[in-house]
Chain A
Amino acid sequence: MSLSLLVLVGVLFAVGTYLLMERSLTRVALGVGVLGNGANLLIVVAGSDSGQAPIVGRPDQLTDPLPQALVLTAIVIGFALLSFVLALAWRNWTITENDGVEDDFEDRSLVSRKEGTAKPGDAPHHEDVAR
C-alpha cells in the first residue's frame, strides 16, 4: 500500500466533494467523475498488495484480481453515471439557458407561506391528465 496513492485518494475526494457542492451542473458532473475515480483508486489501493498482473500462466507474486474486477465494473458504471449527468446538464441548459440547479418551488412557497392560487408545483404530471 503506498502512502502517495492514499494521499491522492484524499485529494480526489476533497476536490470531488467541493465540486459536488456547486450549483453549476457542469461542475457537479465533474465532481461525480472525480469522486468516482477517487473511490475506484481507493479500492485498488486498499484492496490488494502490489504484484504482477493476474493473468493465467504468469509466475508467482500475482496481485489479487478481485479488487481489479470490482473496479473494472465500477469504472463502467461510473462512466454511465457521468454521461447521464452530462446529458442531464445539457438538457437543463437547452431548456433554461442556465447551468444551475434550481430550488424546489413548492418548498420555497411553503417556507414563505404564501397562500397563493395554483402554483407550478401543484400542477399534476401532464401524463396523468387525460388528453
Chain B
Amino acid sequence: MTALLTLPVLGPLVAAALCLVFRRLNVQRAISFASLTVAAGCAVAVFVNVWGDGEVRVARMGGWPGSFAITFVADRLSAVMLLVALAAVTLVLIYAIGQRAPDERSSFYHPVYMVMSAGIAQALLAGDLFNLFVAFEILLMASYVLLTLEGTNEQIRAGTTYVVLNILESLVLLVAIGLVFAATGTVNMAELPERLAELPDGVRTSLHLFLLIAFGIKAAVFPLFFWLPDSYPTAPSSVSAVFAGLLTKIGVYCMIRTQTLLFPGEASDLIVVVGILTMVIGIIGAVSHQNMKRILSFHIISQIGYMVFGLGIGGEAAIAATVFFLVHQIPVKTSLFLVEGIVSRDQGSSSLKEVSGLARRSPWLAVLFLLPALSLAGLPPFPGFLAKFSLVRAGLDAEHYVGVAIAITVSLFTLVSMVKIWVAAFWGEAKPSSVGQPDAVATVGLLRHHRLMATSTAVMVVGIVMLAVVAGPFFQFVTDAALQLLDPASYVSAVRSS
C-alpha cells in the first residue's frame, strides 16, 4: 500500500528529473507519458482498494512513527479525486503532445508539467496541513511557470496578477498553519480535530476563517475570484485545461476537508451565502463575455459556487451531491477547454464573433462540445443533471429555498450561455480552416488534422457519458464517501491505528 500511495507523487517527480537530463523531445514525451501512466495505474489500484471496503489507507515516510512522519492518507474522497485528477492530467498530456506546441517551444514544459502533476497528487493525499502547504507550493510554482512559459507581454501581464494573488494565498495559508500549530501544537490532520475542539470559540473561528480564506482564493469563490478569468485564458489550451479542470477543484477539495474534518459544520451560513454569490457573479461574467475561453473561465467560477453551496448546506445528502459535482466537473471543464483549443487551432480564433459554422465543418467536434456543455448546464440524462438535482433536493430538505431558486436560475443561464457559444460558433456559415487547404471547408476532416487532440478529448467525453451510465453505483460510492467525511472519528482512528 505504501508504494501505491507514494508512487503517484514520486513517479512524476522522477520523470521531471529525467526530463531535465534528457532533452530530446520524443524521449521527454515517452518519459512523461510512462510516468503518468504508472501514477494513474496506482490511482486506479488505490481506488479499487478503497471502493471495496472503504477503509482509510495510510502511508508514512521515512519509517517515523505516528505524527512525526510525513503522512499520505487516502479515504474515499481522496481516492476518487486522485483517480480522476491523474486521468485528466494524463489525457491532457496526450492532447499537448498532439498539439505539438508547448513542448516543442520549450524543453521545460515536460519537467514542469510533471512537477505539477506530482503536486496535485500530493495535495490530494496530504495527511497534515504543512504537507498540504508544500504540495500547494509545488503545484502553484509549476503553474506559474506553465502560465508564463513563453514570456509574451500578455502572459506576463496576466501571470503577474495570478502569481501575486496566489503568493498572497500561500502566505495566508502559511500564517494559518503557523497559528494552528501555535494553538494546538500539531499540524497532523488526525490529531487536529480533537485539539481544535478544545479551543475557545473565538480562536477556533479565527483559525477557521484563515483557512477558508486561503482555500477560498485557490477555489476562486466570491469575493476572491477576480484573478481567475483574467489569467487562465492567456495560457495555451492544454495548460488552461488543467488549470480549469483541476487547480480550483483542489481548493474546493481542501474546503471540504476543512469543513468536515477540522471544523465540522461551522460557519455554514457564511459558506452558503458565499456559494450563492459565487454562482451569481460567475454566471453574470459568463453571459457578458464574447470569447469562448473567457466564458468558460467564468463558468468555472459559477460551478464552484454550486459546490460551495452544497458544502455549506452540510449533511449527508448535500455533501454527497458536492462530491459528485466535484468529480463530475473535472472532466467536463477540462474537455470544454480542450474543445476550445481545437476550435482556435482550426479557426485561428476562439472569439464568438469570428468563428462560425463548425457543426457543418465537423459534426464530431460539435458532439464533443455539446455533450460536456449539456452536462455542465445540468440537462438530463447527463451526470451534471444528477449532480444538480441531488444538490437541489438536499437544499430543499434543508429549507434553503432562496439558494435553491438562485441555483436553478443560474443553471438556466448556464444553458443560455452554452447555447450562445453553440449558436455563434457551431451554426451558421462554415468558414475555411486556418490550417490546410482553403477548399477544406466542405470536407469533414477537421478531426483528422488534429488526431491526438481529438482522441484525448473524446476519451474524456466518453468518461463523462460513462459517469452517467454507472451513476447508480457511483452515487452509492459518493454517499459512502460523504458518510465517511461526516464521521471524522473514523478518519482519526484509522490514521492513528495504522
B-contacting residues of A (Cβ < 8 Å)? 20, 25, 28, 32, 35-36, 39-40, 42-43, 46-47, 66-67, 70, 73-74, 77, 80-81, 84-85, 88, 91-92, 95-96, 101-102, 104, 106-107, 110, 118, 120-130
Interface residues of B in 271-300 (CB under 8 A from A): 288-291, 293-294
Residue B154 at the chain A interface, CB threshold 8 Å: yes
Which chain A residue has the least Cβ–Cβ distance from B153?
A: A95
Give bound CA distance, A101 to B158, whole Å. 9
The dominant DSSP class at the A interface is: helix
**Cβ of B134 < 8 Å from any Cβ of A?**
yes
If A43-B181, A77-B134 touch, does A127 touch B153 (CB 8 Å cutoff)?
no
Choice from A70, A104, A122, A126 contacting B230 with Cβ under 8 Å = A104
* Chain B: CB-nearest residue to A35: B171
CA distance A28 to B166 in the complex (A): 13
Which residues of B line the A interface, CB within 8 A?
99, 101-102, 105, 130, 133-134, 137, 141, 144-145, 148, 150-154, 156-161, 163-164, 167-168, 170-171, 174-175, 177-179, 181-182, 187, 230, 233-237, 288-291, 293-294, 341, 344-346, 348-351, 353-354, 434-435, 449
Across-interface contacts of A46 in B (CB, < 8 A): 178-179, 181-182
How far is it, in angstroms, between the C-alpha of A42 and the C-alpha of B180 when the chains are bound?
12
| A90 to B305 CA separation, bound complex (whole angstroms) | 37
Cβ contacts under 8 Å, B354 to chain A: 118, 122
Which residue, of A47, A120, A121, A128, has the highest number of chain B Cβ atoms within 10 A? A128
In the complex, chain A residues whose CB is within 8 Å of the CB of B134: 73, 77
Please determine whether A129 and B230 come into contact, CB atoms closer than 8 angstroms: no
Q: A47-B182, A84-B163, A91-B156 are known contacts. Are A125 and B349 too (CB-CB below 8 A)?
A: no
Q: Whose C-beta in chain A lies nearest to the C-beta of B355?
A: A124
Q: Which A residues lie within 8 Å of B130 (CB)? A: 70, 73
Cβ–Cβ < 8 Å partners of A123 in chain B: 349
Contact: B99 with A128, CB < 8 Å?
Answer: yes
Given A28-B164, A73-B134, A107:B230 Cβ within 8 A: yes
Contact A101 B236, beta carbon cutoff 8 Å:
no
User: Known contacts being A125-B236, A128-B345, A129-B345, is A20 close to B182, with CB within 8 Å?
Assistant: no
Given the interface pairs A124-B344, A125-B237, A130-B435, the reply to whether A81 lies near B160 with Cβ below 8 Å is no
- B182, A70: Cβ atoms under 8 Å? no
CA distance A80 to B99 in the complex (A): 30
* Bound: A60/B182 CA distance, A: 21
A47 contacts across to B, CB distance below 8 A? 178, 181-182
- Some 18 contacts from A to B, beta carbons below 8 A apart, are A28-B160, A28-B164, A35-B168, A39-B178, A43-B181, A70-B187, A74-B174, A84-B141, A85-B163, A91-B148, A92-B157, A95-B151, A118-B353, A127-B101, A127-B236, A128-B236, A128-B344, A129-B349
How far, in whole Å, are A101 and B150 apart by their CA atoms in the complex?
A: 18
Which residue in chain B gives the minimum CB-CB distance to A69?
B130
A46 → chain B closest CB, angstroms: 4
Taking the closest CB of chain B, its distance from the CB of A131, in whole angstroms, is 8
Contacts of A118 in B (CB 8 A): 349, 351, 353-354
CA distance A32 to B179 in the complex (A): 20
Distance from A101 Cβ to chain B, minimum over Cβ atoms (Å): 5
A-side contacts of B148, CB under 8 Å: 88, 91
What is the CA–CA distance of A14 and B160 in the complex, to the nearest angstrom? Answer: 21
Q: Is the CB of B349 within 8 A of A124?
A: yes
B417 to chain A, nearest CB (A): 15
Query: Are B349 and A122 closer than 8 Å at their CB atoms?
Result: yes
